[in-house]
A and B are shown apart, each in its own frame.
Chain A
Amino acid sequence: MKKLLFLAMCFLIVTTLILSGCTTEEETGEETGEETGEEMVIRVAEQVPNLITPGAWDGQAFSLNSSIYDYLIEMDANTGELVPALATEWDSPEGKVWTFKLREGVTFHDGSDFTAEDVKFTLERTQDPEIGHLKAEDLQVVEKIETPDDHTVVITLAEAFPTFYYLFTDYNLAILSSDYDYGMLGESAPMGTGAFKLEEMVPKESAMLVKNENYWDPGLPKADALMIYFVPDIDSSISLLEAGQVDIVPQISPIIRDRLQGLEGFTIVSPYQESRFIAMAADREPFNDNNVRLAFKYAMDPEFLAQACQGVLGESIFYNETPIVNSLAQYKEIPFRGRDIERSKELLAEAGYPDGLTVELYYASDHPYGTDISQALKEIAAPAGFDLDLQGYPRDIYLAQHWMDAPMSITGWGVRVDPSMLLMLAYHSEGPWNESHMSDPEVDDLIDKIRNEVDPSVRQSHYDRLQEIFVERGTVINLQVPYLVATSTSVKDYRQPVTMLVQLKYATIE
């Protein structure tokens, strides 16, 4: 019978060995290819993308899209300045009629020429209600798009909007080809003018991109190919990074950052901060009373909130009571009011809640920082008499069913390079995403003035006043949290400006 045992074990071991031997050859081949520098391949583990055609996605397929498509204007990741991309010049004397000069000699990956018609097509597609484009609201101001010649686009707006051109850095306004069927092919064979072109794609698994030899910037891209793996689970992505099977993993959590920082061979990049807006709905009890909003703000403890997000206040985490992030020029520094529980209790008593109150707080439990912030809020607001009833949901359900209809909510917001766009969307009484239901005539008036004001210094004075109002009677607490990317140390020149669009065309592997 011992023979039997021996036989069984032998069988198991032999099969295992046969299977394990199956790949050695190919793997070695690939590795030597990379090491000898014949081909520079950058491998990225990205989350499973939502729809990838620009305009109908939720910003998860950044590596793929920003490599395949180009934008009219780019942001320099080092200086934060806007630099020409597909548009070489843009100008508008009064901010109402905008003229964009387009780069000549640019071709799409299918060989067709890039012309003004493609820009017109892209903008009109964005406005089409059937597409359900994320930027449709922003383009409502556009009245007329003309193409006097192949390399000029003239856009006439309904009203003056001196910072209109900032819109063209947005990740959803990638320039598409007017000859291509994005409705049918956008998801399986995306095509643009970008530095890399799609070679092969297995939906939900991986995409292989190769260097666009005809790219308009002759020195770019630096790498020969880009391999993007769609890995649904962040922990699996990190395992792949640790095993050396990928080089870049975007959107990691602070806990993973802390773990990787203790190991050799990895670099953590924090290219920019994004916002978590804690919105207090001004159209219903209890936050329709500014005393209750102020009471909540007096109960805040920024340092504790920062710790809950595994960060350090002032370094990686920033606390603010206005929606304008501190990295923008329009930001006005207003000292924090300080935590004052007694004052908070007084304000609540004045508002008619001497014994405290219960508020439902809605948030996306699977979104980075969502659970950390909500639990920290519950703890720090309790002594003042706020009993937060935590309502966490998966992000899609939160967005579809509770966002915009909650007494209190935490939502992730990307940074708009031009803050007037954010103000118009979320804090104007007519804004389509006015999540805190702010309806303040003075705020509306200031936002309108900011959008139409041509003189930058006058515009800034409006911004200053607006931020004071937000601190006095605003409906939002803005917690800025870092966006984190893990790379292997061999990756050099990983660039990602605050527009969120990663510029892998500059990246190299040593």
Chain B
Amino acid sequence: MDFLERFLKRLGFMVLTMVAMSMLIFFLVEIMPGDVAQTILGQAATEESVAALRESMGLDDPIHVRYLRWAGGFVQGDLGQSIYMRGVEISSIFWRRVGHSMLLAFTAFIFYVPVSILMGILAGVKAGKTADSVISFVGLATMALPEFVSGIILITIFSVYLEIFPIASLIPIGQTIWGNLNILVLPALSITIVMFGYVSRMQRSSMIGVMSSDYIRAATLKGMPRRYVIFRHALKNALLPTITIIGMNMGWLFGGLIVVETLFGFPGLGSLTLSAIKTRDIPLIEACVLFITFIFVFSTFITDMAYAFLNPKIRFKQGEV
């Protein structure tokens, strides 16, 4: 019963966070400098035409009216129309970009998770030896490298010299991303470089902790094969903190890739957010930021639940074990 209680409590928190965040996002966008109507009409606009446009877009309504109208539409799945490109439904641009971002997040995930975890285990088991030193050094070095630097290094190597991958992630007109999966590689690799350090180091330290615990020593002394000890006994416990780190970063992986997407010109959610901000396309900014927030909150929620599920101490009330 405790698990269900915990689930409901977390779910409630999640909804509350989303409501609070939606208000915060709405009001922050409100106080952004620059006037939308003026931006649309450009240098030429007269005061009269700016006023007319403001009225026709409903920009003159009180702020709470506009918030309720917006939040109401959002809940019903209506993201509204772009005000920068009149007549264009946000959903027609938005979900396509979400799909691209999901695919990128997934690719990055299958790139960095197995590699980082395996390297972390290796470093943890061989703590203090050469393998550990090399892996730890590489991990530290890549963590310190911002993604725009590693991205440029990757572009230089793979696009300029080797000419294996395209410099910019352009989807030729009339084709979909499925026919152009090679555009995913460099962005995913640059994410891998950033994430490798975090995950492998976390895995290493938890591995060291577990390997020095009594039950592992007992298993080893009992004469159990080393591989069996590591993968069957140690890894189960040593994975928990790593899963938390990976889960926490899913939000970033999915919506926070503004730098990576802009660098590679990848048509995902991050670059859409940036272009929305640049053009002061308020409904689009709000849709993007709220969706990214949702992904963050949701992935934290899932991590929380996964953690509770994997850890019996949390899953069951004390004494029930």
**Residues of A near any B CB (own CB < 8 A):** 1, 4-5, 7-9, 11-12, 15-16, 19-23, 26, 30, 48, 50-53, 56-58, 129-137, 183-188, 200, 202-208, 227, 229, 231-233, 236, 239-240, 242-243, 245, 394, 396-397, 399-401, 403, 411, 432-433
| 16 CB < 8 A contacts A-B | A5-B131, A16-B185, A132-B40, A134-B42, A136-B46, A137-B44, A183-B86, A186-B86, A187-B82, A187-B87, A202-B173, A233-B265, A240-B167, A240-B170, A243-B168, A401-B34
From A19, A129, A133, B107 is in contact (CB under 8 Å) with A19
Min CB–CB distance A227 → chain B (angstroms):
5
Residue numbers in A under 8 Å from B167 (CB-CB): 239-240, 242-243
- Chain A residues with CB below 8 A from B179, complex form: 22-23, 26
Mask, B75-114, CB within 8 Å of A = 1, is 0000000101111100011001000000000010011001
Interface contact A48-B166, CB-CB below 8 Å: no
CB contact between A397 and one of B33, B44, B107, B262 (< 8 Å): that residue: B33
Q: Are B41 and A132 in contact (CB under 8 A)?
A: yes
Residues in A whose Cβ lies below 8 Å from that of B279: 48, 50
Which of B166, B168, B175, B262 has the most C-beta atoms of chain A within 10 angstroms of its own C-beta? B168
- Given the interface pairs A200-B174, A396-B39, the reply to whether A4 lies near B49 with Cβ below 8 Å is no
- Does B115 reach chain A (CB closer than 8 Å)? yes
B130–chain A nearest beta-carbon distance, Å? 11
User: B33, B52, B84, B87 — which one has the most chain A CB atoms within 10 A of its CB?
Assistant: B87
Interface size class of B (residues with CB under 8 A): 35 or more
Looking at the complex, which one of B87, B118, B126, B275 makes contact with A48 (CB distance below 8 Å)?
A: B275
B24 interface residue (CB < 8 Å to A): no
B150 to chain A, nearest CB (A): 15
Within 8 A of A (CB), among B270-286: 271-272, 274-275, 278-280
| A130 & B110 in contact (Cβ 8 Å cutoff) | no
Nearest residue in B to A226 (C-beta to C-beta)? Answer: B173
Identify A51's interface contact among B86, B96, B168, B278, CB under 8 A. B86
Min CB distance A287 to B, Å, is 21
Q: Which of B29-83 contact A (CB under 8 A)?
A: 33-35, 37-46, 48-50, 52-53, 56, 82
Q: Is the CB of A51 within 8 A of B118?
A: no
Give the residues in chain A near B220, CB-CB below 8 Å. Answer: none
Contacts of B133 in A (CB 8 A): none
User: Which residues does chain A contribute within 8 Å of B111, judged by CB atoms?
Assistant: 12, 15-16
Q: Are A183 and B165 in contact (CB under 8 A)?
A: no
Please indicate the chain A residues that have their CB under 8 angstroms from the CB of B119 in the complex.
5, 8
Q: Contact between B82 and A203 (Cβ–Cβ < 8 Å)?
A: yes
Q: Across the interface, do A1 and B125 meet the contact criterion of CB distance under 8 Å?
A: yes
B270 to chain A, nearest CB (A): 12
The reply to whether A205 and B118 form a contact with Cβ atoms under 8 Å apart is no
Chain B residues at the A interface, C-beta cutoff of 8 Å: 33-35, 37-46, 48-50, 52-53, 56, 82, 84-88, 92-93, 96, 107, 110-111, 114-115, 118-119, 121-122, 125-126, 131, 159, 164-168, 170-175, 178-182, 184-185, 189, 262, 265, 267, 271-272, 274-275, 278-280
**B265 close to A236 (CB less than 8 A):** yes
The reply to whether A203 and B118 contact each other, CB–CB distance below 8 Å, is: no
Known: A15-B110, A401-B34. A26 touches B174 (CB 8 A): no
Please indicate the chain B residues that have their CB under 8 angstroms from the CB of A4 in the complex: 118, 121-122
CA distance A15 to B125 in the complex (A): 26
Q: Which of A8, A52, A132 contacts B52 (CB 8 A)?
A: A132
Chain A, Cβ-Cβ closest to B37: A132
Closest to B114 in A: A11
Q: Is the CB of B114 within 8 A of A50?
A: no
Q: Which of A15, A130, A187 contacts B88 (CB 8 A)?
A: A187
The complex places the Cα of A184 from the Cα of B86 at a distance, in Å, of 7
4 A-B pairs with least C-beta separation = A132-B49, A134-B44, A22-B181, A400-B38
Q: How far is the CA of A51 from the CA of B41 in the complex (A)?
A: 9
Which chain A residues border B110 with CB–CB below 8 Å? 15
Among A19, A30, A135, A401, the residue within 8 A (CB) of B172 is A30
Chain B CB within 10 A, most for which of A130, A242, A400: A400
Closest A residue to B55 using CB positions: A130
* Bound-state Cα–Cα, A130 to B272, Å: 29
Residue pair A20, B267 in contact (C-beta under 8 Å):
no
**How long is the Cα–Cα vector from A208 to B53 in the complex, in angstroms?**
30
Residue of B nearest to A135 (CB): B44
CB contact between B267 and one of A19, A205, A243 (< 8 Å): that residue? A205
> In the bound complex, how far is the Cα of B274 from the Cα of A22, in angstroms?
29
How far apart sit A51 and B36, CA to CA, in the bound complex (Å)?
12
- Decide: B85 and A51 in contact? CB cutoff 8 A: yes
Which B residues lie within 8 Å of A16 (CB)? 111, 185, 189
Instruction: Quote the shortest CB–CB distance from A489 to chain B (angstroms).
Output: 19
The answer to whether B50 and A7 touch across the interface, beta carbons within 8 angstroms, is no
* A11→B115 contact, CB < 8 A: yes
Besides A26-B175, A232-B274, 14 more A-B contacts (Cβ < 8 Å) are: A8-B119, A20-B182, A22-B180, A22-B181, A51-B86, A58-B43, A132-B45, A132-B52, A135-B44, A202-B96, A227-B173, A233-B265, A243-B159, A399-B42
Distance of A103 Cα from B315 Cα, bound (Å): 80
> Are A231 and B265 in contact (CB-based, < 8 A)?
yes
Task: Select which of B45, B96, B168, B185 is within 8 A of A245 by beta carbon.
Answer: B168
Closest residue of chain B to A411, judged by CB?
B43
Whether the pair A200, B173 counts as a contact (CB closer than 8 A) is yes
B165-A58 in contact (CB<8A): no
A444 to B: closest C-beta gap in Å: 20
Q: Do A188 and B88 form a contact, CB below 8 Å, given A58-B43, A203-B93, A245-B168?
A: yes
Is the beta-carbon distance between B168 and A239 smaller than 8 angstroms? yes
Contacts of B107 in A (CB 8 A): 19
